[in-house]
Structure formats: structure tokens, C-alpha cells
Amino acid sequence: MPELIPGPVEVVGAGLIGTSIALACRRAGADVVLSDTSPEHLRTATGLGAGRPRSEEDRPALVVVAVPPDHLGGAISAALDAAGEDTVVTDVGSVKAAPLAEVASHPAASRYVGSHPMAGSERSGPLAASADLFTGRPWAICRHDGAAATAVRRVVALVEACGAVPVMLTPAEHDKAVARTSHVPHLLASLVAGTLAGAAPEHLALTGQGVRDVTRVAGGDPALYSQIISGNSDAVAGLLREIRNRLDLALDAVAAGDRAGLESLLAHGLAGTRAIPGKHGGPVQPVAAVHVAVPDHPGELARLFADVGASGVNIEDVRIDHDPGRPVGLVELDVAEGRSEELHAALEAKGWVTHR
């Protein structure tokens, strides 16, 4: 563990994020202690090797609060109350201004620095945790004006111990950013997914990868996301108003058969997809898709990946779709644009059926 964390790390809330942080800190060599209002989650996280239950005698150097958003302010205050003079407290909640407002007047607020790892999943609880969850991912650190420099350095050390990349932002900037990159996309994914609930099975039989891509995050826990979105209501409402205006334009364009209007809305969306940073935060690399039919048998995917590896072409991304009528998967491999023909040829030579 980095010297900047001179003692045990306590994780309050041993769910998906808390247990993942605990596992990553254990792997980095830290002594980790855990607390949770759910005895079952505490038992599970301990059983996974994430740490030991916190005892009265423990004096953590760093407390990481990883509880649901509505409970962040109370849990951060309780950690500051219980903390020794040298203890630093951070939280990993998805919104940053609201918990800060709750603890800003605490006498020990200089030892609190909020943070937010930009990694997670649709699943909750310790069984979904992984020590690798944060590897290479951005992790916002949101210092407030009164935060001590030593406290900020200790939170940076936590982020680095978890293999993530620290990104410094004010709490207000952070909340505006995540409204755009996380909270509004989640809400819109849920609205689209809602149109599928109760739809006719013969319509749902035509489900392809596109609708899966657009709706994936809507599989998250509604109780958690309702807390997250209402904790960032100003920034989310502002963006929703912008989208409502575009939705009105889209409705008018569709109803009037206004091709040019529709094309302009779709072009604006295309520009948005190009604004998303590429892998590892770099510019987006142009990719081409190579589609491969893969029999639905054990070991076939491993064989395909081994053949791609032997061809020397790097896989930038991968998606798997299923043929509804046959026991065959359709694997879409994204590779650098200039290498797709080479991969087609290499795979066909090994007997794979590929499509352009």
C-alpha cells in the first residue's frame, strides 16, 4: 500500500463498489476493515477476502464511504465524528455537491474529500464485486475549498492503489459532467426500455444488438438510480429540457415527413457519438466490424479468439448476438479500419464463416 495511507483502510458499505475497493486495496497490500448495516453483506464481503469486520480498536487512516446516495451525508458525518485526528474520509457516491452540503459545516470537514469512480455495473451487492473494476478507469476527486492538501493526497493514493486514473474536478463541475455522461443517459435508456415491457413477443423476437446497446444501463437498480438522479436534479432537469426541445423537433419532423429536419437531428447525434473519447481516453480510432458465425458449443469462442490472436490483429471491441432460429452466435469483432480484410482472410483460412 502506498506510504501515503499510513494505516488501515475502512470501507463503510460492503456492496458492489465498497467490496471492489476493499478487494483492490487488499491486493495492494492494505489492512482493510469493513462495516455495513447488513450483516449478510458484511459476511459475504469478508468471505470473499475483502477484509475483516471493523472492531472498536481499529484506527483507520482512511475511511471510504460507499453507501447509497441518500445515506452518504449521514455516513460521512458519522465517520468524521468517529475519526482520529489524522483520519481522512472520502465517499464514492455518484453525486458530489449534495453530500458536501450536508457535511460542509462539520468541524472536521477539512479531512473530507469526495470522490467518484467512473466504473460499475448494473448489478449490486458484494457478490458482483471485482478487484479489477477500476483498472484504467477515470476516478473523479472533488476537493472543496476547505479541504486539507494531505487529505487530497491520501485520496489520490487510494485511487492509484485501485489502478484508476485520478481526475480533479470541483463538486459542481463533476455533477454537471455526470448529468451528461451518466444520469441523463440512464434515464433515457430506461424510457426506451420501458417501451419493450409488455410488447408483443413476435415484435420482441426481432430484437437486435442495437436495442441491447441502447438499453443496457436501464438494468440498474431503480432504487439506487432514483436516489442518484434526484441528488443531481438541477443539472439533470436542465439537460432534459434541452432534450425535450429536440424531441419536439423530432416529432414535428416525423409527422411532417421533413427529411432535412430529421437528417439534421440524426447528424447532431452522430456528432455526439464522435465526441466520446476512445479507448484509454485517446481519440476515437476508426474501426471496421468483422462478423463471424460461431457454433454455440463450449470452447468455440476461445478457439476464435486464439485464431484472431494468431493473425496479429488486435480486437478493439467485441459484441455477441444470437441467431434466434439456430444454435449459432454472431460475434462482431471491431478492429482497426485498415486491418479488417486481413482478418477476414485469416479467419476464412481457418474455416470460419465471416460476413462483411
Ligand X SMILES: O=C(O)C(=O)Cc1ccc(O)cc1
CB 292 within 8 A of CB 299: no
Q: If binding is defined by CB under 6 A, does position 12 make contact with ligand NAI?
A: yes
Q: Binding to ligand NAI (CB under 6 A): which residues in 32-51?
A: 35-38, 41
When binding is defined by CB under 6 A, the residue of 1, 5, 17, 161 that contacts ligand NAI is 17
Least distance in Å: CB of 133 to ligand X? 10
Q: Which of ligand X, ligand NAI, none has residue 69 at its interface (CB below 5 to 8 Å by kind)? A: ligand NAI
Least distance in Å: CB of 195 to ligand NAI? 24
Distance CA 166, CA 212 (A): 31
10 Å Cβ neighbour count for 260? Answer: 7
DSSP states of 266-298: HHHHHHHHHHS--GGGSPPPPEEEEEEEEESST
Binding site for ligand X (CB under 6 A): 94, 118-121, 182, 217
From the list 29-37, 82-90, 253-261, 310-318, the region that binds ligand NAI by CB under 6 A is 29-37
**How many residues belong to the site for ligand NAI (CB under 6 A)?**
30
Q: Coil, helix or strand for 136?
A: coil
Distance CA 32, CA 8 (A): 6
Q: If binding is defined by CB under 6 A, does position 52 make contact with ligand NAI?
A: no
Q: If binding is defined by CB under 6 A, does position 14 make contact with ligand NAI?
A: yes
Helices (H), 162-299: 171-178, 184-194, 201-204, 209-215, 222-230, 233-256, 259-275
Q: Which of ligand X, ligand NAI, none has residue 115 at its interface (CB below 5 to 8 Å by kind)? A: none
* Bridge partners, 90 (sequence order): 64
Residues interacting with ligand NAI, by CB under 6 A? 12-18, 35-38, 41, 66-69, 71-72, 75, 92-94, 116-117, 120-121, 124-125, 224, 228
